[in-house]
Structure 1
Amino acid sequence: MKKIYYIIACSLLIVSCDILNKPLASSHQLAPKNKLTRSAIDLVSLSNDRIKVRVQPAPIYKDVATFYIPETVPGTYSDDDYGKFIDSVAAYGTFGKKLKVTKTSDNTWDIKNARNLDYIDYYVNDTYDVEAEHTIFSPAGTNFKENEQFMLNLHGILGYFKDQEEMPYYVDINRPETMEATTSLPRFADSLYVAQDFGNTGITDTYKGDRYFDIVDNPIMYNVPSKEVFTIDDITIELSVYSPSGTVKASSLKPNIERMIKAQKNYLGDFNATDRYTILLYLTTGEADDAQDLGALEHHTSTVVVLPESMPQENLDDAMVNVVSHEFFHIVTPLNLHATQIHKFKYNDPEMSMHLWMYEGITEYFAQHFQVQQGLVTPEDFYNTLVQKISNAKGYDDVMSFTKMSANILEEPYASNYGNVYEKGALIGMCLDILMRKNSNGERGVLDLMKELTYQYGPNRPFEDSNLIPQITQLTYPEVGEFFTNHVIGTQPIQYKDFFDLVGLDYSTTLVDTGFLLGKERPYINGNKEENTIYVLPGNLNTFLTALGVQGNDVITAVNGTAYDLSNVYDLITVSNSWKAGDAITMTVQRDGEEVALTGTVITPQTPQATLVELQTYNDDLQRVLREKWLKGS
């Protein structure tokens, strides 16, 4: 079977590669009969910092063809309009005749006389060097440094034709000889074919996805190799690092990554989701023309990570553990467990799933829990992480339905609460873990539940969004179903103390001094760039702001007669440092479209600080059993 498939694949490859290599005058005569998309990307000859791309669809039997570049992609949870970085789109038909192309939106082009369409050409601008002009998250963006580095998140480069996104998709990439690719995307031997206009000055790498999703789910990084490849159990790990100055090497990061993933594999036990995982680390200079956002974007079997090159080695190692461990656990969900909305993602008319509590929340919980379970951190360190997440979660709307937020995450007010998926979302995972331990005398936890669900579904069998929580209730216990009804679907805040009591932990809070506008753990204000305003973050405010009558989402326009906006916000922060208890103060805010004057007296700002410590004596033996099982597993 494997040999037959290889022969068929190679024959398709040779035919379709030859199509793109033929002179334009005869290309239509050799248009493919196969239902597949062919594309070519040139990384050798850039034009004004742009790369040239060619896409050749399967035969189209309509008068008008529609070509799309994604508006959004899985994992970003935002409308980013990648089509804004595409220009000079041209379509060609029989004998190289140009066809009329009409841009109908930021991400859509219509092509007339599409029955004669052979291919389209266009140029792509990268995003890293103009990050001040857009909101694309750096790990989801693109970077074109000629003869040095290319970050290819292919959703920002390659598009798809309407009704053809489920067809096989081939990609030829013409690259400089000195550069090497790192990706999880299946690769063939160098084809030595490339679109005629691109010339033959480089080497061509050929990749194939079974559908368009496979292409955009597998980023590619090209650079002069700084790479480590190693195997942990049955998974091959490929770590590639781009360091602008060359000071950070993949070899220096390998020991820590290897230790971390080995611990993650031990944590997952017999759960096998992939035989390959790729880590693409881009170290940014932080300059205005370089990537600004720090973090990572998950893919099914890879992740793109952006961190500052200036980080000391110890901090870089810690950041990689926290960031990559989260991304790696995405091999559980959504790789093996996801809804129909994700499996057949609508890139240009997205429908979001209601289960971010699972995709991001459970994943983040695993990323923290495995560290204590595998002895990488102490229980006290783990407790402090949970306390910090509780504190961070208070900065978001605690009475917002998590499932409703998830399903509407592209819209306000839900979009501004997205960060809570990593805070309260992880705490939801913690509560489910403790509840399951309680109802099974410590024998089952949330990892067991996720394994059961992934065995039932898997990467190619999505679940229906509305069926998941009822099914979880059926697989677990009525108390778990009540938790979902009240705290995940419903709007009741979680009383974390009740869950910590079950495992013999004392959760209490005391008031501590904090800043007037900037707390030690989080700020109380933020800025809106589009409106040039300063607004108060919703959630727990300090005692000073509460006493003054400030409310979440108030827009601060003046303090003591001085007008403020985002342009002089640092002046406001500086002035606030000089406020003294007993001073009179007037703050003018915009609230629900009306101006409100708040007057009062300055008091020392305080905020609740929580502590989580182990009880010295257990109230009953079940507390001891549950805590041991919760922290160390069954």
Structure 2
Amino acid sequence: MKNILIVFLLFFNLSLLQAQHKTETIVEIDLNGIQEHALNVKVSAPKDQKTLEFVIPDIVPGTYMTLKYVDYFKKVRALDINGQEAEVKRKKNVFYISAQAPIDFLAYTVVDATSKRGIVGKPSVVEGTVFTPQSALINFNMLNGYFEGFEKTPFKVVVKKPSGFYGATSMKKLEESDQKDVLYAENYFGLIDQPVLYAVPDTASFVVGGQKCIVAVHNEKKTETAPKIKEVIEDVMHQVNNFSGVTSQEDYYFLIYEIDEARLKGMFKYMGTGSALEHRQSSVYYNTVLTERQYSYMYDHVSCHEYFHTITPLELHSEKIKQFNYRTPDMSRHTWFYEGFTDYFAMRTLNQSYTDEIALANSMSYGIATSQKRHKQSMIESSQDIIRKKNVFSFISKLKDLMAFYEKGAMIAFCLDLKIMERSNGEKRLIDVVLEIQKDYKGRYFRDEDFVNVLRDYTYAGFGDFYKQYIEGTATPNMQNYCDKLGWKYYPEGEKIPRYGNFYVKKDHENDKYTVTYTKGKNTLGLKKGDQILAINGVKAKEFYKDPKNEYYKMSFPKLGDSMVIQVQRKGEKIMLDGEAVLTKLKYARMKVLENPTEDQMKYKSYFFKHLKNVVEM
């Protein structure tokens, strides 16, 4: 009996392996054949199927608009095992295939995301494709779909490539040679979650907290840009590790495509540049060709934000993400959490210390001001209804809703962070709570409608009231009450405060140049655009600006009646200017970090700006 059972189990396992082998989907592409931003694709059909539905996603995780990816699939045809043409009919985003004999394969051409102009209904490159003879950026939702009923079976991608090309991707490579790769994903979600960038390698790598990070770049105008961008991202990742302790044993890829600006056409040609999209082990970035000076500005916050998405929603999420519907969008109630908390963590990561406090306060003032101007609505309702329709009015409306998730969502996170620190005497922060939830829910998901209970259980008993008022409801927290705890004073747009006027000084410390680059209306000092500041109150400009507090408290937030004497060089002539701080109406909201905080405020500052890093395996 025992022997019979063993034989049966061996037979069963062998049959299972054969069945899996038979149902794997094989995709074949040849990058040598790219012409006019188009690529030919061949997809094997599951065995013994005379009718099939080939589904092209209407939407993918991390995006908030149904897009006709299917419109980029051209000349779709299918053959049966006898070489006869099968009937192919398209309805919406599905190709219906039927044949007299079992279907052998599907063949078609895909054009890339840069081949169409416009703004509405057009996919961005970060979720799409770019095909040139020198490169191929592939998000697989715009390269191949899945056969209905077989989306959970393995996918194998056979890639023929020009000699010298390297495919940067987190996807497993079953085979890798100079002119051919074979990529492998366990299922369709695993396939579209692992984009690939093919080009002559321009890469750089580093290790943080035991995790290897690879920066892969294709710049259409120059090479060897990865090492410089890597410097920016490596610094960011060290700050991520210092703030959160998050680390992983899996490699993580930053895939960056910088397009030649001359290739962009039309009124909305820059639409999508500066964008990024997260994946579990990688993120994709799309920009025009940048200068080295722009790298920090363009890649520090966005790379930090995308990496924090590895916490939520990529790991911590509801069934709406786990069981993502590619055919008919069914959005989660908690986009405000996925985007707002993530952006708050990025903001906090890049402004962790006392020296960064002013920058953090400025970021919060912007978020408060813009969120208060937006249409008041429930974060829950707008999350569920975030999908944009294919018209300009819906596009703009939903874009505003999405921005509210980043702004009001980040404010909600800020308030909760302070509440959690207050209740734990600074021993626990919001990031610690979210990581604790993530750990407890590893490998499973929470029910969308139960998330309020999850947050209440991990935060504090009264959270339900906060949730009902500010997340489910339309109210906005009284931010000044929270800012007071840190010794911050918020001044809304239109309020009058002592100022010398509206002007901006660009500081080039390396070359000792301090230039007035902007003035608005009258300023009491008489500064003009182009003035080179030489000295302030008898102190050389370099020494004055060396201490950020000088500019902040003496120039940006003076006391009523304070005066200032400035020596400038204007058109080759050195002149002296002076003026007095007067009450001036603010054109933009401002946040002031008070110069002399109270003992209680210093206590909250010590909570807020100290780190309790514990390594968190993801």
Q: TM-score range by the shorter chain?
A: 0.7 to 0.9
Q: Give the equivalent residue in structure 2 for 1:138.
A: 125
Q: Is residue 334 of structure 1 aligned with residue 313 of structure 2?
A: yes
1:392 to 346, 357, 370: 370
TM-score (norm 2): 0.76
Q: Give the equivalent residue in structure 2 for 1:256.
A: 232
Distance 1:510 1:257, change over 3 A: closer
Distance 1:470 1:273, change over 3 A: farther
1:246 to 212, 215, 222: 222
Matches within 5 A, 1:73-472: 73-105=60-92, 107-113=93-99, 116-132=102-118, 134-146=121-133, 148-190=134-176, 203-246=179-222, 249-269=225-245, 271-273=246-248, 275-289=250-264, 292=270, 293-294=272-273, 295-309=275-289, 311-373=290-352, 378-397=356-375, 399-411=376-388, 412=394, 413-414=397-398, 416-458=400-442, 460-472=443-455
Q: 1:301 is matched by which residue type in structure 2?
A: Q
Deviations 1:393-451 (A, max 9, x none): 23422x21111111111045545411222222222211111121122222221101111
Identity of aligned residues (%): 26
Over the residues paired in the alignment, what is the CA RMSD in angstroms? Answer: 2.8
How big is the shift at 1:87? 0.9
Q: 1:275 is matched by which residue type in structure 2?
A: E
How big is the shift at 1:178? 2.4
Aligned residues: 501
Structure 1 CA distance, aligned partners of 2:610 and 2:122? 41
* Other structure's SS at 1:410 match: coil
How big is the shift at 1:208? 1.0
* Other structure's SS at 1:279 match: strand
Q: 1:165 is matched by which residue type in structure 2?
A: E
Structure 2, unmatched stretches of 5+, are 1-13, 389-393, 497-501, 505-583, 613-618
Q: 2:131 is matched by which residue type in structure 1?
A: F
Deviations 1:285-316 (A, max 9, x none): 2235477322211111111111221x331222
Structure 2 CA distance, aligned partners of 1:374 and 1:59? 60
Q: Give the equivalent residue in structure 2 for 1:584.
A: none
Q: Is the 8 A contact 2:82 2:101 kept in 1?
A: no
How big is the shift at 1:46? 2.8
How big is the shift at 1:485? 1.2
How big is the shift at 1:365? 0.6
Structure 2 CA distance, aligned partners of 1:322 and 1:613? 23
Structure 2 CA distance, aligned partners of 1:355 and 1:274? 29
Q: Give the equivalent residue in structure 2 for 1:589.
A: none
Distance 1:498 1:248, change over 3 A: farther
Structure 1 CA distance, aligned partners of 2:447 and 2:247? 23
Q: Is the 8 A contact 1:64 1:114 kept in 2?
A: no
How big is the shift at 1:101? 0.6
Deviations 1:209-259 (A, max 9, x none): 111011111111111111112222221111111112216611122222212
* Other structure's SS at 1:96 match: coil
How big is the shift at 1:457? 1.2
Q: Is the 8 A contact 1:173 1:206 kept in 2?
A: yes
Q: Is residue 474 of structure 1 aligned with residue 457 of structure 2?
A: yes
Q: Is residue 627 of structure 1 aligned with residue 596 of structure 2?
A: no
* Other structure's SS at 1:95 match: coil
Structure 2 CA distance, aligned partners of 1:422 and 1:136? 21
Structure 1 CA distance, aligned partners of 2:591 and 2:345? 19
How big is the shift at 1:324? 0.7
Q: Give the equivalent residue in structure 2 for 1:65.
A: 52
Structure 1 CA distance, aligned partners of 2:48 and 2:365? 57
Structure 1, unmatched stretches of 5+, are 1-10, 17-30, 193-201, 514-518, 522-604
How big is the shift at 1:159? 0.6
Distance 1:298 1:32, change over 3 A: closer
* Other structure's SS at 1:246 match: coil
Q: 2:478 is matched by which residue type in structure 1?
A: Q
Q: Is the 8 A contact 2:36 2:132 kept in 1?
A: no
Distance 1:352 1:607, change over 3 A: farther
Q: Give the equivalent residue in structure 1 for 2:38.
A: 50
Structure 1 CA distance, aligned partners of 2:419 and 2:336? 16
